[in-house]
Structures are given as C-alpha cells and as structure tokens.
C-alpha cells in the first residue's frame, strides 16, 4: 500500500466528526467495484483529495520506545508536508514531498536538504517506514496489477483479500503485496492489512490497520501498526487523533521556500 501513509502518509486527542464532504467517493454498490477500484479507494481513505491530520508515531523495540507528535497536510497524491512537534529535540523538523522529490528542513542545524535517491530506502525518523513510502504513496494502485483471492464476512463489511503483482518494468521495491480491504454495503472501503514481500517471496513487513472510527465524517482506520518480519518485538504504530478532509491548501503551501518559515 505504501501509504503512509499515508503518512501521508497521511495527530492530539480530539476527534471532530463532520458531515461527509462532497468529494467523498460516490456511493457505488460493492458488487460493482473492480479489484483496482477497491485498492484505490482503500489507499486514498486516509488522505482524501486534501487533508489535515494530527497523529502520534511510536517506534517500539525490545529495549526502548520513542514517540513523536506529528501534524500532516496532503494535497492529492503528489504533495505532502509533515511537521514534527515533539519531542523537543525534533521539534520543527519538516518533510516536504512534491511529486517524486523530497526535502527536509532541520531547524536545530538550520539546514535544508533535498533527499537524494540513495536515501529513499532509508528509515524515516527511525521508524519502519521509509522515505520511499512517502514519495510513492500511490504505488500500490498505479504500479501493480490486482487479483481478488477471496472474500470473507467481517463485522460490518466484507473482507476482500487481493494479490498485487508489479507491472512490467514498474519501479517498485516489493515483488508481491497481499492486501486486505473491508468493503461496506454502500461501497465505502477501508484498508485492513498489507503484507509486503521481496522479489524472492520473503515476507518483509506487515501493516495492520484497525480501530475504525468516524473522523471528518468518514469511516477511517485510526491505528496503523507496521511490524518488520526480521526483527521480532519491533514495530511502528501510527495513531490518528484528528483528520479533516477537503482542506483548502494552495500550491504555495507545499513550496520549498516555505520550509524555512
């Protein structure tokens, strides 16, 4: 799913429910949705066309844990700003995504850095997500072909399990992705689970999405847990505390020059 994110991927403790905005996906009977449409809707659910979110990110290992307070803005599939508010040592550190490029502003040393291609597979802020997860948040939709494997009843939705395989010559990291989404009777879709495999077929990490709540007038998973297979006891947990959709954000909000302000 490469979402961060979603981080964008995609923060406080007060949830503000709103009337569902007009740009929410048009209701389509679940039976009429194709595999790619379901994956696309699940991938977009935490971003919308534009969004503003407050969340916490906790990195847990057997020896220590570290929590960051984060605020994030997204515009479409190509622009995002992520600001760290805590801990004090990281306060003000900002990540900017514009299409396939990324910049970082580090206020403690007053340094603006363009993230080079060699760093794209590196950990973002010591988490189990990478810079590439942020840059290629929609890769699971455009770079993979999707095949429905099975359906199973869920609490309020039908769980759809898909296999996603890279398209020829697609610039992807994963050799295979297994993806689960919950499809409600009204056609609303929420992501539930992602398993990322290497080209050799080895499971590298699992992302579980849970605690579905109403935020910004939409059903969204508010907890994401990323668990790397090779390091037992380690995980990164994202907890969304507030999301507002259809936020008016001019392109200048995502400018490199604005990072220093």
Separation CA 60–CA 138 (nearest Å): 26
Whole-number pLDDT of residue 123: 96
Whole-number pLDDT of residue 32: 82
Please write the tens of the pLDDT for every residue from 6-54: 443 443 333 333 333 334 555 566 668 999 999 999 999 988 899 999 9
DSSP of 117-175 = GGGTTSBSTTSS-BHHHHHTTTHHHHSEEEEEEEEEE-SSSEEEEEEEEEPTT---S-S
CATH superfamily of 30-240: Lipoprotein localisation LolA/LolB/LppX (2.50.20.10)
Non-local CB neighbours of 90 within 8 Å, separated by 6+ positions: 68, 84, 125
Whole-number pLDDT of residue 8: 39
Whole-number pLDDT of residue 19: 34
Whole-number pLDDT of residue 135: 80
Separation CA 14–CA 1 (nearest Å): 27
Whole-number pLDDT of residue 138: 83
pTM, 2 dp: 0.87
User: Positive or negative CA dihedral for 236, 36, 52, 171?
Assistant: positive
SS3 20: coil
Below-70 pLDDT ranges, the chain: 1-31
Collect contacts of 162-169 with beta carbons under 8 A, ≥24 apart.
Answer: 162/35, 162/38, 162/39, 164/39, 164/140, 167/143
Angle at 34 (CA atoms; ends 206, 147), nearest 5 degrees: 50
């Amino acid at each position: 799913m490469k979402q961060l994110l979603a981080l964008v991927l995609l923060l406080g403790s007060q949830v503000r429910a709103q009337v569902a905005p007009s740009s929410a996906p048009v209701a389509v009977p679940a039976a009429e949705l194709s595999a790619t449409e379901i994956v696309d809707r699940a991938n977009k659910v935490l971003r919308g066309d534009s969004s503003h979110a407050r969340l916490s990110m906790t990195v847990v290992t057997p020896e220590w844990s570290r929590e960051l307070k984060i605020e994030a803005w997204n515009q479409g599939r190509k622009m995002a700003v992520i600001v760290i508010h805590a801990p004090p040592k990281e306060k003000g550190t900002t990540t900017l995504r514009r299409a396939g490029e990324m910049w970082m502003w580090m206020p403690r040393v007053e340094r603006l850095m363009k993230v080079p291609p060699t760093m794209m597979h590196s950990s973002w802020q010591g988490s189990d997500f990478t810079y590439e997860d942020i840059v290629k948040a929609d890769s699971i939709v455009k770079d993979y072909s999707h095949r429905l494997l099975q359906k199973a009843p869920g609490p309020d939705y039908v769980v759809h399990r898909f296999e996603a395989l890279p398209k020829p010559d697609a610039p992807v990291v994963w050799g295979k992705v297994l993806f689960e989404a919950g499809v409600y009777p009204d056609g609303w879709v929420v992501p539930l689970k992602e398993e990322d495999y290497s080209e050799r077929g080895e499971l590298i990490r699992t992302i579980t999405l849970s605690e579905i709540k109403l935020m910004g007038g939409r059903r969204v998973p508010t907890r994401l847990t990323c668990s790397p297979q090779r390091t037992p006891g380690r995980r990164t947990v994202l907890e969304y505390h507030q999301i507002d959709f259809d936020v008016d954000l001019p392109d200048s909000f995502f400018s490199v020059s604005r990072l220093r302000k």
